[in-house]
Chain A
Amino acid sequence: MRRGWLALGVVLLAAPLAFQDPFYERMIALVLLWAVLASAWNIVGGYAGQVSFGHAMFFGVGAYLPLLVYTHWKGAPVLGIPVGIAVSVGIAVLIGIPTFRLHGHYLSMATIAVAELIRLLVTNWEFVGAARGLGGPASGRTIWDFCYRSSIPYYYIFLVVLALVLGFTCWMEQSRMGYYLRAVKSGERAARSLGVSAPRYKLYAMIASAVFTSLAGSLYALMLGFVDPDSVFGILVSVQMVIMAALGGTGTLIGPLVGAALLIPLQTFANSLFGGQGNGLTFILYGGIIILLSRFEPGGLLEIWNHHLARKGRKGRTE
Chain B
Amino acid sequence: MSPDILLKAHKVSKAFQGFLAVAGADLEIYPGEIVGIIGPNGAGKSTFFNCLSGELVPTSGSVIFQGVDATRATPEEHARLGIGRTYQVPATFEDMTILDNVMVGAFLRHAHQANAREEAMRILEFTGLIAQADHRAKTLGTPGRKRLEIARSLATGPRLLLLDEALSGLTPLEIQQAIALVRQIHRTGVTLVIVEHIMEVVLTLAQRVIVFNHGEIIATGRPEEIVNDSKVIGAYLGAGRKPHRSTAMSRLDGHGA
Contacts and interface: CB of A to CB of B under 8 A. Distances in A.
Given A187-B91, A190-B87, A179 B79 contact: no
A186 B152 contact: no
Contact of B113 (A175, A193, A195): A175
> Is the contact region of chain A dominated by helix, strand, or loop, or is it mixed?
helix
Interface in A174-209: 174-176, 179-180, 182-183, 186-187, 189-198
Nearest to B80: A195
Contact of B79 (A174, A175, A182, A193): A193
Contact of A189 (B55, B94, B96, B104): B55
Interface in A140-184: 174-176, 179-180, 182-183
B85 A193 contact: yes
Contacts of B196: none
30 contacts: A175-B113, A176-B107, A176-B116, A179-B100, A179-B103, A179-B116, A180-B104, A180-B107, A182-B93, A182-B104, A183-B104, A186-B93, A186-B95, A187-B91, A187-B92, A189-B91, A190-B149, A191-B93, A192-B74, A192-B79, A193-B54, A193-B85, A193-B153, A194-B104, A194-B153, A195-B76, A195-B108, A195-B156, A196-B104, A198-B76
Given A179-B103, A195-B156, A196-B76, A190 B92 contact: yes
Interface residues of A, number: 19
Nearest to A186: B93
A180 B113 CA distance: 12
Nearest to B108: A195
B194 to A, nearest CB: 16
Interface of B: 53-55, 74-76, 78-80, 84-85, 87, 91-96, 100, 103-105, 107-108, 111-113, 116, 149, 152-153, 155-156
Given A193-B85, A193-B153, A196-B76, 11 more contacts: A179-B103, A180-B107, A183-B93, A189-B91, A191-B104, A192-B76, A194-B105, A194-B108, A195-B79, A195-B80, A195-B105
B75 A179 contact: no
A300 to B, nearest CB: 15
B108 A187 contact: no
Given A193-B75, A193-B85, A195-B80, A176 B95 contact: no
Contacts of A189: 55, 75, 91
Contacts, number: 72
A182 B156 contact: no
Contacts of A194: 79, 84, 104-105, 108, 152-153, 155-156
B197 to A, nearest CB: 21
B107 A192 contact: no
Contacts of B156: 194-195
A192 B75 CA distance: 6
A190 B149 CA distance: 9
Nearest to B94: A186
